[in-house]
Structure formats: structure tokens, C-alpha cells
Amino acid sequence: MRFERCRMLFGEENFDKLQQAKILILGVGGVGSYALDCLYRSGVHDITILDFDVYDESNRNRQIGSDAVGKSKVNTLASLYPGIKTIEQRMDMAWVATFDFEPYDLIIDAADTTKVKIEIAKICYKKLIMALGSAKRYDTNKIEVASIWKTHGDALAKKIRDELKKAKFNKNFTVVFSPEEDKCKVKGSCVAVTGAVGLTVCSEVIKKILH
């Protein structure tokens, strides 16, 4: 059976919880595509992915599906992971204001735009797992999971914390981040870290569903 070893690990009751969970993944690049792969292989049945990009040649070092250069990310991934739901939509502030997040049990934020991430946090903090900066790094041992307020050494995390404080927002939500010092000035990336962040996000989703 395809999920026999998942059932052995989680037990029948918990595996049923995984299959019934509704997960939304915002952004399916170097982090989000690996979170998708992990959830799909772990038995999560109801997965919706949302992205607007097409694959670029530069994506091929770290993104699942990226050999389909010039093709839609969500449509390509839908062909690789039959049964997932897709939304081809640009994530901007207008979208955040109108999108219905209510149907989903958990939301994975693997988006790139800081303002959008902040607004999503304000709305969805109770069921949010946010991926922070994974570019410019190659040491997976530095990856951590914490409340946004316990993050350190990550410039994107600091920016989000500062903006949330300005907005007088003090709620907790889970983030996956790395305090590893930048190894380059531009957006160099290594799938060891981007993929590991996505897999860590998946692990956090599974833990939240099962407990």
C-alpha cells in the first residue's frame, strides 16, 4: 500500500486526521514545493497551492517542477501531484484583503513579499506556519522553529517583528527560520536549506494536525 508506512508511524486514527486536514500553501518555490511534496507523501489529501509565477531557468537549482521552464508553477505541480487544488493568483495586498482563509485548517506562508507576509500573519496567526529567509545560506543545522517573537539573527524576521510591533500586534505564530550569517550579498541559494526549510514546515504541520 502506498501509505502503509505512514499508517505504521502515525497510527490509523492520526493518519485519518492527516487525510482530512485542509492545507493551503502560499508560494510553491524553493520552500513551498518541498512542503507540498512532504505533505503529499505523508498522506495529506486536501492541499491547495497558490502561486502566480512561471518557472525560470534560475529556479532549477532548488524548486521541484522547475525543469518546466516557462510553464506555470501551479499547473506543473498539479500534474506531478494529482488531486491537489490550484489557485493561480498574484499575492498582493488587495488579494490578502479579499481572500477567504477560513476553510483551511493550516496555512503555510512560503511567500516572498514582506508586506504580504505581515498581513497574512495578522489575519491567520492562529493557524499559520511561516517560512522566513532561506537564501544566502547552506548550513541546515542552523534551521530553527520558534514563535516569531523568539527569532534571532534573521533580517526578515526582524523586519516582520518590527512592523508587527508598530501595528500593536502581539499574537504568537510559528516560524521556521535560520540565524545563519549571510554567505553572499545577492540572492544565492542552496536546495539543502530551502528544501530543508520546506520539510521542516511540513513536520510542523503534521505535529499541529496530530496534537
Pairing of strands 144-147, 174-177: antiparallel
**How many domains does the chain divide into?**
1
At 124, which CATH number? 3.40.50.720
pLDDT at 187: 85
Query: What CA–CA distances, in Å, run from 169 to 27, 113, 160?
Result: 24, 19, 11
Q: Encode pLDDT of 152-161 as tens digits.
A: 999 999 999 9
Domain housing 154: 4-210
Residue 176's identity, in one-letter code, is V
| Contact assessment for residue 26 and residue 107, using Cβ atoms and an 8 Å cutoff | yes
Does 1 score more than 90 pLDDT? no
b (16+ CB within 10 A) / e for 21-32? bebbbbbbbbbb
The band of 32, judged by pLDDT with boundaries at 50, 70 and 90, is very high
pLDDT tens-digit map of 123-154: 999 999 999 989 999 999 999 999 999 999 99
Helix, strand, coil tally for the chain in percent (to 5): 45, 15, 40
pTM > 0.95: yes or no: yes
Considering only CA atoms, which of 148, 201, 154 is closest in space to residue 171? 148
